[in-house]
Amino acid sequence: GELEETMMLSYLKAARLRAWLSGPRCPTAVQECKILLDRAYRPTEVEDDFGNDPDDESVQVPTSAVPTATPEDLYNIVHQRTVVLRAHLRHEGVIYSRSSTHVGNSLVMFYPQGVRTSSPVPGSIKYIFGSSGKLLFAVQRQSPLPVDARPDPFVMYPHFPAKLYSSTVSKHLEAIHLSWVLCHFARWEVSDGCVVVLSLCRVRPLEFYFRYLVVYLAIGLRWC
């Protein structure tokens, strides 16, 4: 209804503003204001600095980073008692965060095992950690719908990158490299136990996708 459309348009306007602030056409004076706002409203954590913003396919662990005790579930991946953990990472102007710090920035579409011929899958970044001198992501995949769930209505629209998933994420952690990440994705809960995952890959304008999704939310379809 009107509420869903208002939410989508507000999200779209915010996305446009962030893109403009980060782009080359933004005046220097306005960019200075953005820096001040970032400093005022960023989480006040010890490790919340974004560090460098390199253009290559990896980000090095800062030399000043202090290792901490490895969480139990992450130990199954790194097999070491201490590890460097970060709250955020910025790469090529895109900010990634662990889910406990910022859920939206933790949602990523990635290629399993880095195989780009495979279809990207959605996941949530639980940890940003250092391994072999590089920062990696420990990701939990978005769980698929149960086998007895209703058919996914988005299957009929192959050019619209939305798909239904379970609202839960896998308990299994997998380490992924930064170069395996395709883009962020948006996630909306449409019913108990069911979410819509919408890829935010920069192939089409965001407005195209959001307006498309608003149509489905507005007519009140029951998907699950």
Domain boundaries, the chain: 2-218
**Which has the minimum average pLDDT: 85-99, 164-178, 190-204?**
190-204
Which pTM was predicted?
0.69
Residue 43 has pLDDT above 70, yes or no: no
Residue range 59-78: average pLDDT?
A: 90
Nearest by Cα to 85 from 50, 134, 130: 130
DSSP state of 194: E
Amino acid at 23: G
Amino acid at 172: H
Residue 224 has pLDDT above 90, yes or no: no
In terms of pLDDT, which residue wins out, 26 or 39? 26
pLDDT confidence band for 117 (50 / 70 / 90): very high
Amino acid at 26: C
Please list the residues that pair with 166 across neighbouring strands: 194
pLDDT confidence band for 165 (50 / 70 / 90): very high
Residue 219 has pLDDT above 50, yes or no: no
pLDDT at 202: 60
Nearest by Cα to 187 from 204, 215, 168: 168
DSSP state of 159: T
Q: What angle do CA 41, 44, 50 make, to 5 degrees?
A: 80
